[in-house]
Structure 1
């Protein structure tokens, strides 16, 4: 079978998708840039306009936009099997790496040298999250109205412990209304245009939703039948299934909600361990939201009955990965045929514009939460759910590494992997001091 350079055969798509999956370090920005270079610039499989339209479409969906973009490209080139191949190969390399690291962490988390390495990694992660706030704020806060939304979302989460889904949904509703009545508040220009005069692909989308939903739910049905609602695997599956529906704005947007729930409500791990997990995810290829697998592994590893800890951890990691990423295929396969119509939906653009603005406040809340956990050994409740640090408990080692990491990442533009490696070494060296 021969193909033109602009339309690869299936084997070539698989080979290049595997390469992208193994090299997709650097978070969404790096992953999206890698796919653009490999698929648009070097091979010409997708045009520039198609790539940008698809990227905008993926920003409308919950879940990791880079993986969904990979699914869409595979679907565009080879239909359902192409989307499955590209999407799975984008996730599998990173999933295997972080599973191995989670197993190592579960076995070695209480060793002194291991804790010393992660002292530095946690401090560097704080700098990385701050950089994410600054980057997103620069893109998303173009009007006073959108800046106000970011500030209010931060206040609602940090001071009043408002539910994350409520903040996101509220921002979306307000953005929807503003786009219809005062689009200038959001920086939108005029009407988005009329939808194309083509048949609506309802049948295709309904079949994709039904098949995708059945696949998504299958492991949960088995757990309910065999282990019941009280088992940790059921709680893990339900929690991360809900999370998969509200993860607009990228991984950082939902990490604060996930971390606070996993630490404070479910007690699956500590705040310091959550920061460790984020550090592991930063060092692996694939979506940053893969940190959910780390949480699922530890949750099941520590409540293994009736399995051994290792088997329970593997089941928890596998279940978490499935319920986190299976919905991505559902969204893309069901909505990809509608991409041109969604591009012209003014009210939907307005809703997502304000959600993105609110996400800045969400990530700022994550930064504040991590800063308190990483830089101080002791917090004191002051009002409601708000806790402030005891200044005497400041960890100067973490503060020094965090400040140095921020300078290297933000001012010097160092690669994240280099900074994490240097921070880990710094944490180990500083731990040797009295």
Structure 2
């Protein structure tokens, strides 16, 4: 694999792999707040503090990662790690970004199955669910303000919401359709589907790795095919081994297939796909009980790492309740590994295969249009997720209404929980009006809800 003749040699920037590993571990341990907070953290450390990478190169990598399925923050870390130290650097940066969240959610999942039926655990989860509902609703407002810059994009968001909420159209079809609309729409009305937003260049000393540095490896079909072949083998090899040893009818293989499929359609971040995951996990596979997805989302919100790590909790509960030949806790651990591997292995494939082509992709107007349309549809997807969560948080009973193609969940109004509604409202005001962060809001709502529940029980 050759470099362009004007490219600097490996590690010409003077940043050692050991030095970078320490920084990636630091970023991983502090990566709270979802993708927006994680990207902001990486920008502060890599661009402003360490001066390792230029603003232009950072945005260049971010634009590419936003075009991909999967968690963009983890992929951005993988890309910058690859840019600094090649494949080893990318593997270290991307893996460390996931590790703290994996360990934290594993511990919380074990605690959940052991202690969820205690009075204290139920009280804590009551407040946590209300706060998570407020966080998801705030995400609709935040992403909508940033994304919907034209009435046509508002229309796409509304159509995406209607297709999901009223007709139960599968999530991947919504995303694919939006991408096609944006791809062709950008050719007819490019002004509507133009991506918005660039940060201003940062002041200070010149970065060690600037936009003038060429990609570490020149793109070629031979290299791309080799990376894809090796990547797919690493992706499916361990999953096939689990299926072979434990059986292709077990929950482990079902989860391997499901989360692998999910990994290639998770455009728009974790919020966009959570409704799809929750619906499948509760209604199709029976891995979760209604309302339990909110508990997992609360875990993911309060731990470092990508929000999509909630899939680990989903897999853990599904295998714990249907362990097959394994002990329940061992089954949960194996399922956690399977879900995490199926979710993140393709992320490394996208980066290592596609990074050398970034310069060509970045200026592609039609691809930018597809991303803009997908992002607009994601607003409708998140709104659907918000209402789904609201129904199962604020009401004890929800009934399914079916009328031809119409498929609608309707709450039983007499089963409303006023305390949960008030707590969710207060959490929403703290986020939107008070501008509280995610962690303070979660902590305050959880403690308030727990105090209320324990007080009611004591009476």
- TM superposition score category, shorter chain reference: over 0.9
Q: How does 1:230-241 map to 2 (within 5 A)?
A: 230-241=249-260
**Residue range with higher mean Cα deviation, 14-23 or 383-392:** 383-392
1:16-65 alpha-carbon deviations (Å, 9 max, x no partner): 00000001011111111111111111111110000011101100000000
- 3-state SS, counterpart of residue 306 of structure 1: coil
Q: Separation in 1 of the partners of 2:134 and 2:14?
A: 41
Would you say the 8 A contact 2:282–2:289 is kept in 1?
yes
* TM-score for both structures, normalised by structure 1: 0.95
Query: For residue 413 of structure 1, what is the aligned residue in structure 2?
Result: 435
Would you say the 8 A contact 2:186–2:194 is kept in 1?
no
Query: For residue 94 of structure 1, what is the aligned residue in structure 2?
Result: 101
- 3-state SS, counterpart of residue 386 of structure 1: strand
Q: Separation in 2 of the partners of 1:378 and 1:51?
A: 47
Q: How does 1:261-280 map to 2 (within 5 A)?
A: 261-280=280-299
Query: For residue 323 of structure 1, what is the aligned residue in structure 2?
Result: 342
Give ranges in structure 2 of 5+ residues lacking alignment: 1-9, 197-213
Query: For residue 353 of structure 2, what is the aligned residue in structure 1?
Result: 334
Q: How does 1:250-399 map to 2 (within 5 A)?
A: 250-384=269-403, 385-399=407-421
Change in CA separation of 1:125 and 1:199 when aligned onto 2, cut-off 3 Å: closer
Query: For residue 106 of structure 1, what is the aligned residue in structure 2?
Result: 113
Q: Separation in 2 of the partners of 1:128 and 1:55?
A: 24
Q: Separation in 1 of the partners of 2:19 and 2:285?
A: 44
Alignment of 1:400 with 2:422, yes or no, is yes
Change in CA separation of 1:104 and 1:187 when aligned onto 2, cut-off 3 Å: same
Q: Separation in 1 of the partners of 2:294 and 2:95?
A: 26
Q: How does 1:42-61 map to 2 (within 5 A)?
A: 42-61=49-68
Query: For residue 227 of structure 1, what is the aligned residue in structure 2?
Result: 246
Deviation at 1:6, TM superposition (A): 5.2
Q: Separation in 2 of the partners of 1:180 and 1:49?
A: 26
**Residue range with higher mean Cα deviation, 330-339 or 206-215:** 206-215
Q: CA RMSD in A?
A: 1.7
Deviation at 1:204, TM superposition (A): 2.1
Q: Separation in 2 of the partners of 1:412 and 1:16?
A: 32
Q: Post-superposition, which runs of at least 4 consecutive aligned residues in structure 1 deviate over 3 A?
A: 3-7
Q: How does 1:2-151 map to 2 (within 5 A)?
A: 7-151=14-158
Query: For residue 208 of structure 2, what is the aligned residue in structure 1?
Result: none
Would you say the 8 A contact 1:143–1:187 is kept in 2?
no
Deviation at 1:403, TM superposition (A): 0.6
Would you say the 8 A contact 1:232–1:299 is kept in 2?
yes
Would you say the 8 A contact 2:260–2:342 is kept in 1?
yes
- How many residue pairs match? The answer is 425
* TM-score for both structures, normalised by structure 2: 0.90
Would you say the 8 A contact 2:193–2:368 is kept in 1?
no
